[in-house]
Amino acid sequence: MHRKHRSLSSVLRHFFVDYFWLHLMLLPGLAYFLLFKYVPMYGIIIAFKNYKGAGGGYAGIASAPWIGFKNFEVFFNSLYCSRVFGNTLYISLLRLIFSFPAPILLALLINEIRKSWFKRTVQTITYMPYFLSWVVVAGLLNTLLSPDMGAVNVLIKMLGGTPVYFLTSTSWFRPILVISEIWKSIGYGSIVYLAAITGIDQEQYEAARVDGATKMQQIFHITLPEISEIIAIMLILQIGRMFDDNFDQIYNLYSPSVYEVSDVFETYIYRNGIQSSKFSYSAAVGLVKSVLALVMIIFSNRASKRLGAQGLF
C-alpha cells in the first residue's frame, strides 16, 4: 500500500509540478469554457419556468414558478416551428453541399502552385476576407447589390435588364448567404487541409509520376485518401454545426421581407429573447436547437466510423 501511495504521489507530482507551465498555459482556455459554457448551463432551467427577468439573475431564476413543458408545447404548436426548422435545415444543407468542399478544392489548387511567391499571394488574398466582421461584409454587400447605384445592378441596367432587389428577394437571399460565406471563409478553412497535404510523403507522388499518373490521378488516388481522416473530422464538426446558423451573417443581411426564407433558430431566439423579452420561451427554443445539434453530431460521428473513417469520440 505504501509503495502504491508513493507511486501515485510521484505520478501526481510529475504531472502537476514538472509540467507546471504547460498547465498554466491551459488555465485561460479552461476558465473560458468554465465561465462561458458550463456555468451558464444553470440558466437552462428557465426553459421550464415562467421567468420574466424580475428578481435579478440566479435569485430570480430560482424563485420563478415552474410551468413544465409549456414553453416547448407553445413552440411546437406555433406556425414558426416548421418555418424555423425548415429554413435552418435547408440553409445548412446548402452550406454543407457548397461551402464545405470549397476549402478542400482551394487547398488542392494552392498545393499545385509551384511558384512560392504566387502561392503566398493567393493564400494572403484568400485569407484576408476572414478577418472582416460580418457587419463590414454586410455593408459591402448592401453597397454592391444596391438596386440604385450598386455595381451589379448598374451592370444589369447597362445590359438592358431590370434592377434586382437582391437582399429583399426570397429567391436570391439564400444564394447570397452561401456565396458570401464561401468568399469570406474559404481561405481560412483551407489552412487545415493544406497542413494535412504538407504532411503527405512526397515519395508517393514520385512513384506515381514514374508510373505515368496524371495530376488528377495523383489527387484522387494519393492526396484525397491521405487527407480523408481530416475531411471526415471536419465534416462531423460541420454537421454538428448545422443548427448553429452563423447568426452574425444572417442578422446583418436579413430583413422582414425575407423572414420566410431566412428566419432560423438563432434569429428567432434573438427576436423573442432579446427584443421581446420572452426569456423562458427563447430558452426553450434554444434547448431544442442544442438537442438537435447533439443528435446530429452523434449521428455523423457514428456514420463516419461505419464508413471506416476516424470519429471524434
Residues whose CB falls within 8 Å of the CB of residue 111, separated by 6 or more in sequence, listed in order: 194, 197, 223
pLDDT of residue 44: 86
Report the pLDDT averaged over residues 240-253: 84
Asked if pLDDT for residue 1 goes beyond 50, the answer is: no
Dihedral (CA of 137, 139, 140, 142) sign? positive
- Grid-cell match 447589390, residue found: 145
Task: Tell me which residue of 224, 206, 240 sits closest to 309, measured CA to CA.
Answer: 224
Identify any residues that bridge with 49 across adjacent strands, giving them in sequence order: 66
Looking at per-residue confidence, does 242 or 179 come out higher? 179
Residues whose CB falls within 8 Å of the CB of residue 285, separated by 6 or more in sequence, listed in order: 71, 75, 84, 265, 268, 269, 272
Cell of 246: 452563423
pLDDT of residue 307: 65
Q: What is the pTM of this model?
A: 0.82
Task: Tell me which residue of 143, 101, 247 sits closest to 152, measured CA to CA.
Answer: 143
Q: In this structure, which topology does domain 58-306 adopt according to CATH?
A: MetI-like fold (1.10.3720)
Asked if pLDDT for residue 106 goes beyond 90, the answer is: yes
Residues whose CB falls within 8 Å of the CB of residue 87, separated by 6 or more in sequence, listed in order: 261, 262, 263, 264
Task: Tell me which residue of 100, 105, 106 sits closest to 123, measured CA to CA.
Answer: 106
Coil, strand or helix at 263: coil
Identify any residues that bridge with 66 across adjacent strands, giving them in sequence order: 49
- Round to whole Å and give the CA distance between 196 and 192: 6
* Residue 213 backbone zone (phi > 0: left; psi -120 to 50: alpha; other: beta): beta
Task: Tell me which residue of 271, 291, 294, 292 sits closest to 281, measured CA to CA.
Answer: 271
Report the pLDDT averaged over residues 62-76: 90
Asked if pLDDT for residue 2 goes beyond 50, the answer is: no
Report the pLDDT averaged over residues 168-184: 93
Is residue 43 very low, low, confident or very high in pLDDT (cuts 50, 70, 90)? confident
- For the chain, the average pLDDT equals 87
Report whether 184 contacts 129 (CB < 8 A): yes
pLDDT of residue 275: 86
Helix H or strand E encompassing 74: helix 70-76
**Which range, of 5-19, 28-42, 148-162, averages the lowest pLDDT?**
5-19
Report the pLDDT averaged over residues 33-59: 82
pLDDT of residue 245: 65
Report whether 54 contacts 60 (CB < 8 A): yes
pLDDT of residue 310: 64
Is residue 243 very low, low, confident or very high in pLDDT (cuts 50, 70, 90)? confident
Looking at per-residue confidence, does 149 or 6 come out higher? 149
Asked if pLDDT for residue 5 goes beyond 60, the answer is: no
pLDDT of residue 142: 92
Cell of 302: 457514428
Asked if pLDDT for residue 19 goes beyond 50, the answer is: yes
